[in-house]
Structure 1
Amino acid sequence: MEKAEIGLIGLGTMGSNLALNIAEKGHRIAVFNRTPARTQAFVESAGALRDMVVPCASIEELTDAIRPPRPVIIMVLAGTPVDEQIAALRGVMSANDIIIDAGNANFRDTMRRFKELEGSGLTFIGMGVSGGEEGARHGPSIMVGGTPESYQRVEGVLTAISAKFKGEPCAAWLGTDGAGHFVKTIHNGIEYADMQMIAEIYGILRDGLGMRPKEIAPVFAGWNKGRLESYLIEITASVLEADDPKTGRPVVDIILDRAGQKGTGKWSVIEAQQLGIPATAIEAAVAARVLSSMKDERLAAEKAYGANALKFAGDRGDVLGDLELALFAGKIAAYAQGFAVMAGASKEFGWNLPMPTIAKIWRAGCIIRSQFLDTIAEAFGKADPSTNLLMVPAFVEMMGKAHPSLRRIVARAAEAGLPVPALSSALAYFDGYRQGRGSTDLTQAQRDFFGAHGFERIDAPGAFHGPWGSGAA
């Protein structure tokens, strides 16, 4: 039998869809699942792609079925299950074979695994995959971290199965060891912020303007034809248009307002803090999900304080115009923060992350895909990759036009009692970033007063202490 080009372990929803995608693109794939019945069910459901799939009853059989050097994708739960699978593969794989973790791994685990395999003859790829079930089946955005040589072995398969933007594959090698999984983590952090800001705008439309889901849906649909064109805006319109078959009510009205998270948003915030780079819109989005989980406490607080939000007064058309631009300004700030964190990590870990390439491979297949990313790719192609997006000329112009609307919406939401944590954090970040002299001079004075930490002067180099006298502790 003809050897498979690649192998895959783990035939859950994502693994099955990715395997079918690989087979459909003309690459024979060997598959294994620890539950034999799952493997058999997958093969039986493969239909016309059955001849491109090699079902295996063991990992020994799996590796024997692949053309060397043998790449094997692991699609199992992140954490210990990945380490267990790597340990099993080390016993059956040979020199130059490649273990590929395509799950939502913490990039620090990926770096550890990469290092642990050094000297073993095997190599490791940490591969971020974005696009959910649909993307895995028909074309995801793929972010690869590993050696250039290991990427060359699988490049043909990955570019074939990836999403395409105007014919250009949305898959790329981004750097060594944990680079791919780090970029995927920040992708998800930006996704958190994007989704939260959309939800905040929806909250204003619902509670500030008194609009029903069927009225709000065409607003988002209209915005999707302009500067906000993106997958998330598109599906927001679809979600708001949908009715619940059981009750006939809008689906969004019967969904409990308690969000979950799988960890990548939190990881992005932790890493931003570790790098000393502000990512306030992402932080606010993560915190908003945590607050949403406190449903019982929120209900009790509503009884204690009331929740009589004030309606937005004025011309609805004017408010809608401001809401669109406010969302656009918030989006710019969130992306600026995400790319700044990646630039910091690139320097910290020696990855030399290609910012234009990252923007390009996010243009299709992934959850945050949008026309906006084409502008980012073009902008970074002309600027130093460490430049904050807010300082790129094209974005200076766009933010200059949009931030007054963000300011008005945040102010009016505060007056109305409507929470907009991500939008307000984006505005505060923007205002702080553009303030040549801030108020931290007082903070530094306080730190020196109580801890003798010292401070810098504006008129002389070096470290100094203030004349605090006996009052200092």
Structure 2
Amino acid sequence: MQQADIGLIGLGVMGANLALNIAENGYRVAVFNRTVAKTHQFYEDAGDLKDKIVPCETLEDLAKNIRAPRPIILMVKAGEAVDEQIAALKPFLAKDDIIIDAGNANFHDTVRRLAALGPNDPTFVGMGVSGGEEGARHGPSIMVGGTPESYARIEPVLTAISAKYKGESCSALLGPDGAGHFVKTIHNGIEYADMQMIAEVYGILRDGLGLAPDAIGRIFEKWNEGPLNSYLIEITAKVLAATDKDTGKPAVDVILDSAGQKGTGRWAAIEAQMLGIPATAIEAAVAARSISSLVGERKLAADAYGDLLAGRKLVHDAAFIDALEDGLLAGKIAAYAQGFEVMAGASKENGWNVPLATTARIWRAGCIIRSQFLDEIAAAFEGSEGKNLLLAPAFVERMKTGSASLRKVVAEAALAGLPTPALSAALNYFDGYRQQRGTANVIQAQRDFFGAHGFKRLDQDGDFHGPWSDVD
């Protein structure tokens, strides 16, 4: 039997679809699942693609059926399962073979796993994959961290199976070791912020203007034809138009308002904090999901406080709907600016040299946060990788007008008692960033007063202490 071009372990939803994607693009893929029956069932269900699939019952059989150097994709649960799979696989691999972790791994684990491999062991690649089930099957965005040599071996396959944007592959090597998984983590953090802002605008339309889901869906559908055009806006319009088959009610009205999270958004917020880079919209989105999980407590609080602003109503007119559209776009720009700043900071900290323009380009198709303005983000970073997105001329002009709408939306929502944590965080980030002289001078004075930490002066070089002993 002809050897496979690549192997894949883990035939869950993502793994199975990725394997079919590989086969459909003309590459032979050897597959293995811990449950042997699942491997055979997958093969039987593959239809016309069966001749490109090599089902394997053991890891040794898997390794033997892949041409060297042997790349093997792991599509298993992040964490200990990956370590266990590496340990089980290593005896059958040789130097220059490639273990590829395509799960949502913490980049620290990716760095650790690569460092733990000896000079005669296979190498390790951390590969972020975005696009969900549909993307895995028909073309995801792929973010790779590894050596140029290992990437060269797998690049033809990844180029073939990735999403395409105007003919360009949405797959790239973004740096060594943990770079790919870090970029995927920040991608997910931006995704959290984006989804939360959309939900906040939905809340304003639902609770502030009293609109039904189908009417809100039509608004999002219209917005998707303009600057807000994106996958998340598109699917929001679709979910708001859907009807629950059991009750006949709008589907969103029968869904519990408690959002789950798998950890990547939280990791993004933590890494931003560790780097000392503000990612307030991402942090707000993570916190909002945590608050949403407090279903019982929120019921008690609602009973305790009642409707404090029962008389406050928002004005439903075309101008306010336009402000919501422009404000949401401004909030998204600020969230993306934060995410790219975190990636730039981590790249510098770890010596990764992550190409930000390339990152924006491979997000233009396949991934969850694909949107129309990623082209503009890519252009903004060409030749100016170290500059905050908010300083790019194209975005300066957008924020000059969009920030006024964002301010109106946040203010009106606050007066109506409607929570907008991510939109508010984006606005406050923008306002703080554009202040030539902020208020941290008072904080520095306070720190010196109680801890003698010292401070810098505007008019003299060096470190100073204040005249606090003279204060009664």
TM over 0.5: yes
Deviations 1:134-175 (A, max 9, x none): 000000000000000000000000010000001100000000
Question: How many residues end up aligned between the 2 structures?
Answer: 471
- Residue in 2 that maps onto 1:378: 379
Which residue pairs with 1:306 in the alignment?
306
Offset of 1:118 from its aligned partner? 4.0
- In structure 2, how many angstroms separate the alpha carbons of the residues matched to 1:308 and 1:72? 58
How many Å separate the matches in 2 of 1:260 and 1:356? 31
Residue correspondence of structure 1 range 351-390 to structure 2 within 5 A: 351-381=352-382, 383-390=383-390
Please list the CA deviations of residues 59-107 of structure 1 after superposition, one character each: whole Å capped at 9, or x if unmatched. 0000000000000000000000000111111111011100000000000
- Say whether 1:289 aligns with 2:292: no
Corresponding position: 1:333 with 2:321: no
Fraction of identical pairs, as percent: 67
User: 1:337-372, CA deviations, whole angstroms, 9 ceiling, x for partnerless residues?
Assistant: 000000000100001010110000000000000111
1:115 aligns with 2:115: yes
SS in structure 2 of the partner of residue 210 of structure 1:
coil
CA 1:4–1:106 in structure 2 vs 1: closer, same or farther (change >3 Å)?
same
Question: 1:248-271, CA deviations, whole angstroms, 9 ceiling, x for partnerless residues?
Answer: 000000000000000000000000
Is 2:324 aligned against 1:323? yes
Letter in 1 for 2:236: T
Q: Which residue in 2 is equivalent to 1:131?
A: 131
1:14 matched to 2:14: yes
CA distance, structure 2, for counterparts of residue 120 and residue 144 of structure 1? 22
Give 1:121 shift: 3.4
Give SS of 1:2's match: coil
Say if 1:156 and 1:406 are closer, same or farther in 2 by CA, change over 3 A. same
> 1:463: which partner in 2?
463
Unaligned runs of 5+ in 2: none
For 1:120 and 1:232, how far apart are their aligned partners in 2?
Answer: 45
CA contact (8 A) 2:185 2:267 kept: yes
Tell me, yes or no, if the aligned pair for 2:209 and 2:315 is still in contact at 8 Å.
Answer: no
**How far does residue 471 in structure 1 lie from its aligned partner after superposition?**
6.5
Partner residue of 1:184?
A: 184
Between the aligned partners of 2:468 and 2:372, the Cα distance in structure 1 is 55
Contact 1:208 1:309 in 2 (8 A): no
Give me the whole-angstrom Cα distance separating, in 2, the residues matched to 1:84 and 1:438.
51
Distance 1:309 1:60, change over 3 A: farther
- The structural deviation recorded for 1:307 is 3.3
User: SS of 1:91's equivalent?
Assistant: helix
Report if the CA contact (8 A) 1:284-1:422 is conserved.
yes
Question: Within 2, Cα distance between the matches of 1:308 and 1:206?
Answer: 18
State the distance in 1 between where 2:316 and 2:447 align.
48
Matching residue's letter, 2:288: A
Give, in angstroms, the shift of residue 456 of structure 1: 0.4
C-alpha separation between the residues in 2 aligned to 1:66 and 1:364?
30
- Whether 2:111 is the aligned partner of 1:103: answer no
Q: Which residue of 1 aligns with 2:351?
A: 350
The secondary structure found in structure 1 opposite 2:92 is: coil
Q: Which moved more, 1:310-319 or 1:47-56?
A: 310-319
Q: What are the within-5 Å matches in structure 2 for residues 250-289 of structure 1?
A: 250-289=250-289
1:91 aligns with 2:91: yes
* Structure 1: segments with no counterpart, 5+ residues: none
Shift of 1:120: 3.0
1:71–1:97 contact (8 Å) kept in structure 2? yes
Letter in 2 for 1:56: C
Q: Offset of 1:314 from its aligned partner?
A: 3.2
Equivalent position amino acid for 2:356 in 1? M
State the superposition RMSD in angstroms. Answer: 1.0
Counterpart CA distance in 2 for 1:467 and 1:41 is 78
| Residues 411-448 of structure 1 deviation map (CA, whole Å, 9 limit, x = unaligned) | 11110000000000000000000001011111000000
Measure how far apart 1:238 and its partner are: 0.2
Query: Letter of the aligned partner of 2:359 in structure 1?
Result: I
2: CA distance, partners of 1:440 / 1:369: 37
Deviation digits for residues 191-216 of structure 1 (CA, Å, limit 9, x no counterpart): 00000000000000000011000111
Check the 8 A contact 1:312/1:412 in 2, yes or no.
no
Calculate the TM-score normalised by the size of structure 2: 0.99
* Matching residue's letter, 1:412: E
Please list, as runs of the form range in 1=range in 2, the aligned pairs for 1:43-82 lying within 5 A after superposition: 43-82=43-82
Give the equivalent residue in structure 2 for 1:416.
416
* Aligned position for 2:168: 168
Distance 2:470 2:73 in 1: 66
Q: TM-score, normalised by structure 1?
A: 0.98
Deviation larger for 302-311 or 328-337: 302-311
Corresponding letter in the other structure for 2:87: A
